[in-house]
Amino acid sequence: MFSLYSTRVGRARDSQLRETDFGYFAMPLISSRKPKRQSRPLLWSYCELIMFSAAEIKACRRLVELALEEDLGTSGDLTSQAVIAREQPGRAAFVARTRGILAGLPAVSMVLGAVDPQLLFEPKLEDGNSLVAGAEIAYVAGRMRSILAAERIALNFLQHLSGISTQTRLYVDAVAGLTCQILDTRKTLPGWRLLEKYAVRQGGGHNHRLGLQDGILIKDNHLAALGGGPPALQAAIAKGLAAIVHPMILEIEVDSLDQLDIVLPCRPDIILLDNMTPEELREAVVQRDRLAPQVLLEASGGITLETVRTVAECGVNRISVGALTHSARALDIALDYMN
């Protein structure tokens, strides 16, 4: 028997209800108003588990709207309308076909609610949990037509985000025991950045800046625009420091130890060491420790799962890896229908 209030989501009934375009979702208490009482079934998000922030909900809403428009159009699921009775009930389980790290349950909840607020969604696991082949992730119950209409879109979200969290965990595990963080980059799909960075966190990684508006990161092309060479480095740092407003950070990219010698005395918050060899990275750490120990060093550029531990062992504080998002394979997850 499917129940809206499973042992994992039952406490959500005491949370404030907020109405959205996708029905009602359990949200943290945001006002003193009494929650609306509804007689119909509700699709609840699992607020007691890890969930999207307000910004992530907004981003996901836009993506869900686009997905529904391109997959259902104005006519809906013609096949199900032709062969499935309107009120025929159904139930199904989201099941992992392989090992991985789960991410994207809030997105699945939003997809199901957008298609049919009467659907019942019962997560059995939390985002960030480890998956094994055959693990039942969540159940959905309600009108079979609605489940079929939502299936592909819900799986697209869940497979894509779980693929990123799984990829991230591989990198995090590769540097286990070392004081080095694994970070993502801005190499994300347009419109997906907030959700992909959410998935990175579920895999144990850390987020770099969300966008150009979040801080000052002076890169090689900025230096080229200023004419290149030591004068460009010095001018860029001076301009960057003058523009910093707390709590913004200043980061600058260097690709040689000579550039590092120029930048270190200026004490930016972070220095990005781009495409350096392990020998160069170790020397950079020695120089940093001697001249400006408070400056964080970040390695980046062509770092793979096979090389990431070697890089971390050089003593850098952070490693940024574009592959966490731009090269992650979708995790194999299916929706199995139940009799």
Q: What is the pLDDT of residues 8-25, one digit of tens each?
A: 333 232 232 233 333 322
Cα separation, 273 vs 269, whole angstroms: 13
Cα separation, 107 vs 86, whole angstroms: 25
Q: Which of 327, 322, 306 is nearest to 205 (CA)?
A: 322
Q: What is the pLDDT of residues 149-198, one digit of tens each?
A: 999 999 999 999 999 999 999 999 999 999 999 999 999 999 999 999 99
Q: What is the pLDDT of residues 232-272, one digit of tens each?
A: 998 999 999 999 888 889 999 999 999 999 999 999 999 99
Cα separation, 124 vs 280, whole angstroms: 48
Q: Is the pLDDT of residue 111 over 60?
A: yes
Q: What is the pLDDT of residues 24-80, one digit of tens each?
A: 222 222 222 333 433 334 344 443 344 899 999 999 999 999 999 999 999 999 999
Enumerate the active-site residues: 152, 187, 219, 253, 274
Ordered structural domains, the chain, with CATH: 10-164+329-337 (3.90.1170.20), 173-326 (3.20.20.70)
pLDDT of residue 183: 98
**Cross-strand bridge partners of residue 16:** 27
pTM, 2 dp: 0.85
Cα separation, 109 vs 105, whole angstroms: 6
pLDDT of residue 247: 85
